[in-house]
Chains A and B, each alone.
Chain A
Amino acid sequence: MSKIVHSILLMLGKDAARPARDQFSSKALEIFKGKKTKEAVQERIRLIKEEKVWFKPGTKWLKRRWASVIIVNLLFVLSFWLDIQLIEGALTGSRVVGFHMADLNSALQVMLAYKHIVVNLLIGTATVLFGWWLLGGRTFCAWACPYHLLAEIAEMIHMKLAAKGLVKDHTFDRRMRTVLYFIFAILAFVTGYTVFEYISPVGILSRAFTYGASFALVIVGILLLIEIFYSRRFWCRYVCPIGLTYGFAGALSPVQIKYDSTKCLHEGECRDVCMVPHVLEPTKLGFADQEFHYMGADCTRCGMCLDACPTGALKFHIRGSDSLL
């Protein structure tokens, strides 16, 4: 239970901290102590040296994920243009083979602004809530959101420029997203307008794909420029309330990235590629107070860490599957 509370607080902006010694399970303490012996340290250095020779970061999950984002968004577009009617609408609200679906954050904005709960919307929201709870909540971000894909490309450019020393990553206070989230919710309720939707790059992109380009795309362009030249993954890391909504939805999701501390060499490759590296705090030496850890609410289940990890310490895991099978 405390793990879930901790993962939500972490998502809301709490800093990752080293757990106190008395929080460690005996097994975790044993593993930690075993890693601190002289021989173990020597062995780890040797393993890491060896690994540099043979290990190349993979792209398995990146490819799968990009395919997923493209297929999802293409289905929206083709449903309209070819009239195949599989997914009608946009990411904010749609009908999937006749069933209502609503984006959780858009639905929340509408309910707060309109102050009536329409049955269709409630059904659509509940369906989507259940679906993304099952799939991992912020899985939406990494596996369906079109802005996420563009932001990944912007991030690649940013990293190339940063490696040459041309740009620098300006970090932000992660609590900014939480504060904005509640301000946007309050604004929707008080003004009666879905204020966030005005600048939501997800809605803007999704509509532009299906209904044609609009001047609103300028907002998306500005955000991408900020991410390339000023701050790595600015929108997804520090601003997007949609991500936070899906984070809440998936806080108790069965689909998790599972960390096995016995396999980890604590190189930090995973945290370097991660959009939300605070979720990977247990991968720091001395931070894992259990043998296994689940990455929790803010994790987008993007699998970048799996591709980057040379030792296979991180894996997709469906919680409860062991007891079911």
Chain B
Amino acid sequence: MTSDQSKTNNASPPPANADMDPPSDNSAAPAKATPPKKRKMSERQREARRRFLRSIGFGSVILAAALSGVYPVLKRLKERLRPPGAIDEDAFLAACIKCGQCVQVCPVEAIKLADVDEGMGIGVPYIDARTQACDFSCDATQCILACPTGALDHVITKKEEVTMGFAKLVEPENCLAMQGLGFSGTARGPDFEGLLRYEEIDRWTPIKIADHDYDLELCDLCVRECPIEGAISLEPISSDPGDKRREPIIHKSCVGCGTCEMMCPVEPAVIIIEPEVSMETAA
């Protein structure tokens, strides 16, 4: 590149200036001569004007492209579950510096960064609980400690203080416990990649859920694997002691980590997390 240029530019030793403008060529002026008034612009002026208009045009396109990212967040096209400690959604999008340090510290790799389709949420962390929930394998809030901007708020120090969302039963008639059914096998099938820390197996290292077999008389996976004590329980449906059916009841202490959603063996999951919802707003 450099050598090409030096060949073309050494014709006149002391160049007056290195402008990129083509030399003005008066003979190439438009043939149909308008009255010879002073209004005629030189080629240089015309180029300057074209450059100015070009700058306005491209500048506007760049601004429009950047602002188009507001649309998906204003429309709430995707309701994302945010990592533990996330402040209110709008403030979260503002405060997050999109660096992904929270992604790096998560031992179960629950945290993902959003793509361009999420507008201003680009590069912002979220959790898809059904694929991999936050099970507090890190013993809580490694992601919060990693956050450099306070988008994940440092006031939270225990998993019980987290308020990511709130669990909710959808299509309860499909729930195995509500039908009085048991469950045996691996919770999500042999190909499921998700991890969970089973404290009774290994206190420190999460293992694949696909490597853990269950044999349950009554399915209680959502209750059994919930990392928050007292957040969910199975309650009898009727007063009949012979009735095996139980209903999962979600309690105030639910933090919305999504472990129940990940563990639910029914497809699609009977229990899901509503982001940014708590007991009060769920009502």
Contact = CB atoms under 8 A, between A and B. Distances in A.
B66 A198 contact: yes
Interface stretch (A23-31, A105-113, A134-142): A105-113
Interface in B5-22: 5-6, 8-10, 13-18, 20
A271 B18 contact: yes
Contacts of A56: 3
Interface stretch (A179-187, A254-262, A288-296): A179-187
B63 interface: yes
A214 B98 CA distance: 14
A267 B93 CA distance: 51
Interface string B104-134: 1000000001011101101100000000000
Interface stretch (A1-9, A143-151, A189-197, A242-250): A189-197
A156 B1 contact: yes
Contact of B59 (A118, A179, A285): A179
Given A52-B10, A266-B14, A198 B122 contact: yes
A131 interface: no
Interface stretch (B67-75, B176-184, B219-227, B228-236): B67-75
A121 B150 contact: yes
Given A110-B149, A176-B59, A215-B117, A196 B94 contact: no
Given A90-B98, A156-B1, A121 B148 contact: yes
Nearest to B102: A89
B98 A159 contact: no
Interface string A34-57: 000000010011001000100011
B63 A183 contact: yes
Contacts of A284: 16-18
B4 interface: yes
A163 B101 contact: no
A283 B6 CA distance: 16
B90 interface: yes
Contact of A120 (B14, B20, B116, B150): B150
A239 B63 CA distance: 10
Contact of B51 (A44, A171, A210): A171
Interface stretch (A67-75, A91-99, A314-322): A91-99
Interface residues of B, number: 57
Interface in B44-100: 51-52, 54-55, 58-59, 62-63, 65-70, 73, 90-91, 93-100
Contacts of B67: 187, 195
Contact of A92 (B10, B13, B98): B98
A163 B2 CA distance: 11
A100 interface: yes
Residue from the set B17, B91, B119, B122 with the largest chain A CB neighbour count within 10 Å:
B122
Interface string A197-217: 111000110010011001110
B103 interface: yes
Interface string A224-266: 0000000000100011000000000000000000000000011
A216 B72 CA distance: 15
Residue from the set A45, A48, A118, A284 with the largest chain B CB neighbour count within 10 Å:
A118
Chain A, interface size: which category?
35 or more
A284 B18 CA distance: 9
A307 interface: yes
A22 interface: no
A199 B66 contact: yes
A93 B94 contact: no
A199 B4 contact: no
A237 B66 CA distance: 18
A268 B95 contact: no
B62 A116 contact: no
Contact of A195 (B14, B69, B146): B69
B97 A273 contact: no
B15 to A, nearest CB: 5
A272 B9 contact: yes
Contacts of A277: 18
Given A118-B150, A121-B149, A48 B116 contact: no
B51 A239 contact: no
A78 interface: no
Contacts of A115: 94
Contact of A239 (B62, B91, B117): B62
Nearest to A174: B55
Contact of A216 (B99, B101, B122, B149): B122
A234 B149 CA distance: 31
A95 B123 contact: no
Nearest to A188: B94
A219 B116 contact: yes
28 contacts: A56-B3, A80-B104, A89-B99, A90-B123, A92-B98, A94-B99, A95-B101, A95-B148, A100-B148, A114-B94, A121-B97, A159-B4, A179-B59, A193-B94, A194-B93, A195-B69, A199-B66, A207-B100, A207-B123, A211-B103, A218-B116, A267-B9, A267-B15, A269-B6, A272-B2, A273-B2, A284-B18, A307-B2
Instruction: Name the 7 nearest CB pairs between A and B, nearest first.
Output: A93-B99, A198-B69, A113-B94, A216-B116, A173-B55, A118-B150, A89-B99
Given A92-B98, A118-B95, A272-B18, 17 more contacts: A41-B13, A41-B14, A44-B13, A52-B6, A52-B10, A88-B101, A89-B104, A92-B123, A113-B94, A118-B150, A192-B93, A199-B65, A211-B103, A214-B115, A218-B116, A267-B10, A268-B15
